Each structure stands twice: as C-alpha cells, then as structure tokens.
Amino acid sequence: MTLTTQKIPQDVRMQWFRAARYGLFIHWGPYAALGFGEQGMLREHMDQREYERRACAWNPAHFDAKAWADTAVRGGFKYAVFTAVHHDGYCNWDTDLTDFSSMKQAPKRDFVAEYVEAFREAGLKVGLYFSLGDLRIPGYWSDSTGDPPDWVAYRDYTHHRLRELLSRYGTIDIAWFDGAWPHNANAWQSKKILEICHELQPHIITNNRLDAESPYSAAQGAMEMPGESSTLGDYGTPEHHTTPDPNRFWESCQVSTSRLWGFTPGEHWRPTWDLLDNLCVCASKGGNLLMNVGPDGEGRIPPEFAERSDAIGRWLAANGEAVYGPGAGDITEFISRGYQTVRDGKLYLILRYESQPPTVRVYGLASRVLKARLLGSDVELGVEQRDAELHITGVPAAGTHGLPLYPVIELTCDGDPTATDFGKQRIWSGDPRRYRPWAEARGDSPYVARD
C-alpha cells in the first residue's frame, strides 16, 4: 500500500535490504539480567512492581556498542535491529515520556544512541525494534473498540515515543514493529504510525507487524501470532520458520538458541551448521535472515554466539557472493545435496554435507555449464554434461581447502541459468501423478525390471 506521505517509492527504499540478506537481531533490556527470556515478566506472572524495582536497579557494567558492532562486522551481518523497547516497556533511550528508561534509572546511559552511533560507524544499516505494547500498562489491555480514554492515552504515549526515536538519532534504516496484537490496525492508527515513519525518516523501511491478525503465521502453524498486516509495512516477518511470505519480500527471524530471544543462561545453542543452514535456505528462497542474539545481563555477547557467528563470517568471507545480493535460486530440485542460489547470472550450489562424494550430480539444468569452480579457492572442477544430466567432478571433501562448512560450487553457464521442465518441478508440489509416465518406462510388474 502506498501512503501519500511516502516520498520515496518502496522499491527504491527496499533496494539495499533485498541485497543485504543477513541481519543481526539484538534483544536486550533488563530482562537479560533476570534470565528468563524477554517476556518473563508476563509469562512467569511476576508482580509488576517487583519487576520494575529489579529493572530500575539493572546496571550492566559491560555494555559496549562498539564490541557488538565488531562482532556484527566479523560475522558478515549487513544490518542490525536492536530492541529500543520490548513488551516490558523499559526504554533503552533517553525518553521524556517515562522515567522507566536506561537514562533515568541506574545505567544513566542512552543505549540506543550508543548503538546507533557504533553500528553506523561500522558501516552497518541500523534498525530499531519497537514494541507497540507495554504489558505493564492496563491501557494496553483495554478493549480498544470505540477508543476509550485509557486506550487513547496509551496509544498516544506509543506514537510519541516513536516520534522521539525517529527524530533524535539521525538516520534510522528500519523500524521493526512488534506487539500490536490483540489490537487491530485501526485501533493503533497504524497508517498514522507509518506516516510518522515516512515523515521523519524518508528512507526508512518498516516490517508488517502493525495489525492483530496473523492469518499467514497461523497457516504455517507458527508458535506465536505476531500481529502481521498483509497490506501495511514493506516486508513480511515469518518467525521461527523460513516459509516465504506470499504477499511480498520477507525476512525470517530466528533464534540462535533453542527458543527464547532474550538472554537465558543454560539454554542450548544451535549448532553453527544449523544457523548457516537458515541463511542458505533464506538466500535460496529469495528472503533475508534476521538472526538473534540476546547479550547477557552485563551487556556482553555470549561467547557461544560469537564463536558461531565468527565461523559463519569466515564462511561468508569466502562464499558470500553465493548469498549476498538480490535474487533467489531453486533452479532445479536440489534438495538431495543442498541449496541453489543465482547471483549475477551464475548458479551456486551450496552443499549441505559434512562430507560428500567427489562427484555431484545435478539433474534438470537446461543451461550449458562452461566452468565449475570451488568458491573461495582457485580449485577448478571437472564438468561432464549430457542433456539434462550434469556431473561435477573432483569436488574436495568438506574440511579441506580451509572450508569446514558447506562447500560452494560456482557454475558459469552459457546465459542465465534455466531448468528443463523436470528441473522446474518440485516433486511434491502440483499433482505428483505426472510422474506416472516415468514409472511406466519400467513396466507394470512388481518384479525387478530387466532389460
């Protein structure tokens, strides 16, 4: 939907984002010190005064936005989204509208200012997560129908805080909304929210969490209903899954631990290959990955995260051209071996194996392959191609050539990579009975077919 206040067309504003591919989500606030995830206050039915008392005393000694930005750069992230305020209402900036903030309470620091400056300085695009809902405040829980006064007061408070954030910190690249549910776009005046964004930050892009409904998440069996609008905002936000949003460009947000977004000691970390896998899936389906870290209560990025993101950063340094940049992949059904992406007319095969045989077979490619190379190295690979069948030979085992994770083969084709009819199909979509002629070729008998 185009709003009259939008001075810059969506495709122009979205350009960098479509190419960036990989963002760092940072969930951090007083909850990090309490160790029960970002929503423990409500989930554990805490007394709100007790929560506030502890939040006000929170005084992280090691918050260092530059160190965060260094981790992000080393990890190969192109942008970040930091929780300016989560559902507990604690504002990580110097707001005039409440004293429940990092400036007015123990830290006496404007964390948002420090984050924005450090990330911008490091050359990353800068996003702010903004929870519309503050679960402590009864006005948020009111029935918003007919705009009762406590709801209107709460909504105004929210709009004004957004104005502060978008007018005091220079360029903000992304406004990442959340916490709209259970109120709908009319109740929030979501169009006005977007107008505020475009008026104050003409280049800004916004996500779609500006309504009560999440029909698309519900259809995917998502764990949460994050309040996604199917018309408002610039991009979709599948959460904990990588299914493309059918309506528009999308960014999947994913945790790096087992479930929670805020720091929770003892939660299992996902293995590096699993995190990298998410990135490759998103790149092959044409979307972005926003991977989360919850820094600890003192403000440090957990070493378990840094270790994983550094490894992915090293992988990206060698193989980034298969991932960064607009475009998708999935030229042929390649699920048996890994993922495909297409960038600048080249086809990349990302092999999802810890070890693999030296020959990789691809079936269904119509383009002629002129050259095959192991990305991030000068290793040329052999190519044997007959009709729709391609064999790439001499593929080194994973773990060699300094590539411990997911080797990538770059194929230079005789034009933009295209597939045969078989290659274009995905076996379990459409009517699989179309494969009957293929089975007929062997004859009807249940006994072993012989020539």
Judged by beta carbon, residue 226 or residue 423, the one nearer ligand GLC is: 226
Q: Is 224 in the site for ligand GLC (CB under 6 A)?
A: yes
Q: Which residues contact 438 (CB under 8 A, 6 or more apart)?
A: none
3-class secondary-structure state, position 138: helix
Q: Is 286 in the site for ligand GLC (CB under 6 A)?
A: no
Write down the least CB distance from residue 255 to ligand GLC, Å.
Answer: 9
Judged by beta carbon, residue 165 or residue 253, the one nearer ligand GLC is: 253
Q: How far apart are CA 30 and CA 47, in angstroms?
A: 15
Q: How far apart are CA 450 and CA 254, in angstroms?
A: 50
Judged by beta carbon, residue 293 or residue 331, the one nearer ligand GLC is: 293
Write down the least CB distance from residue 38 to ligand GLC, Å.
Answer: 5
3-class secondary-structure state, position 389: strand
Return the residues of window 18-37 that contact ligand GLC according to CB under 6 A: 27
For residue 226, which of 244, 209, 207 has the smallest C-alpha distance?
Answer: 209
Compute how many residues bind ligand GLC; rule: CB under 6 A. 9
Whole-Å CA distances, 234 to 161, 191, 328, 409 = 21, 13, 19, 33
Q: Is 239 in the site for ligand GLC (CB under 6 A)?
A: yes
Residues 110 and 102: beta-carbon distance below 8 Å: yes
Q: Is 226 in the site for ligand GLC (CB under 6 A)?
A: yes
The verdict on whether omega for the bond into residue 226 sits within 30 degrees of 0, i.e. cis, is no
Write down the least CB distance from residue 358 to ligand GLC, Å.
Answer: 42
Write down the least CB distance from residue 25 to ligand GLC, Å.
Answer: 7
Judged by beta carbon, residue 130 or residue 324, the one nearer ligand GLC is: 130
Q: Which residues contact 325 (CB under 8 A, 6 or more apart)?
A: 19, 21, 343, 344
For residue 419, which of 370, 347, 366 has the smallest C-alpha distance?
Answer: 366
β-sheet bridge partners, residue 33: none
Among left, alpha and beta (phi > 0; psi -120 to 50; other), residue 303 is: alpha
β-sheet bridge partners, residue 382: 393
Q: Is 245 in the site for ligand GLC (CB under 6 A)?
A: no
Judged by beta carbon, residue 208 or residue 341, the one nearer ligand GLC is: 208
Q: Is 88 in the site for ligand GLC (CB under 6 A)?
A: no
Write down the least CB distance from residue 260 to ligand GLC, Å.
Answer: 8
Judged by beta carbon, residue 25 or residue 334, the one nearer ligand GLC is: 25
β-sheet bridge partners, residue 235: 207
Percent helix, strand and coil across the chain, each to the nearest 5: 30, 20, 50
User: Which of 17, 38, 174, 360 is in the footprint of ligand GLC by CB under 6 A?
Assistant: 38
Alpha helices in 7-141 (DSSP H): 10-13, 15-20, 31-34, 40-43, 48-57, 65-74, 111-121, 138-141
Write down the least CB distance from residue 239 to ligand GLC, Å.
Answer: 5
Q: How far apart are CA 261 and CA 21, in angstroms?
A: 20
User: Which of 68, 235, 261, 273 is in the footprint of ligand GLC by CB under 6 A?
Assistant: 261
Q: How far apart are CA 207 and CA 237, in angstroms?
A: 7
User: Which of 84, 204, 212, 253 is in the footprint of ligand GLC by CB under 6 A?
Assistant: 253
Write down the least CB distance from residue 83 to ligand GLC, Å.
Answer: 7
Q: How far apart are CA 208 and CA 132, in angstroms?
A: 13
Q: Is 309 in the site for ligand GLC (CB under 6 A)?
A: no
Taking the alpha carbons at both ends of the chain, their separation in whole angstroms is: 61
Return the residues of window 144-203 that contact ligand GLC according to CB under 6 A: 178
State which amino acid sits at residue 175. Answer: A
Task: Tell me which residue has its CB nearest to ligand GLC.
Answer: 226
Judged by beta carbon, residue 173 or residue 239, the one nearer ligand GLC is: 239
Judged by beta carbon, residue 27 or residue 198, the one nearer ligand GLC is: 27
Write down the least CB distance from residue 267 to ligand GLC, Å.
Answer: 14
Write down the least CB distance from residue 261 to ligand GLC, Å.
Answer: 5
User: Which of 22, 32, 39, 341 is in the footprint of ligand GLC by CB under 6 A?
Assistant: 39
Judged by beta carbon, residue 127 or residue 320, the one nearer ligand GLC is: 127
Q: Is 354 in the site for ligand GLC (CB under 6 A)?
A: no
Judged by beta carbon, residue 226 or residue 302, the one nearer ligand GLC is: 226
Residue ranges that bind ligand GLC, judged by CB under 6 A: 27, 38-39, 178, 224, 226, 239, 253, 261
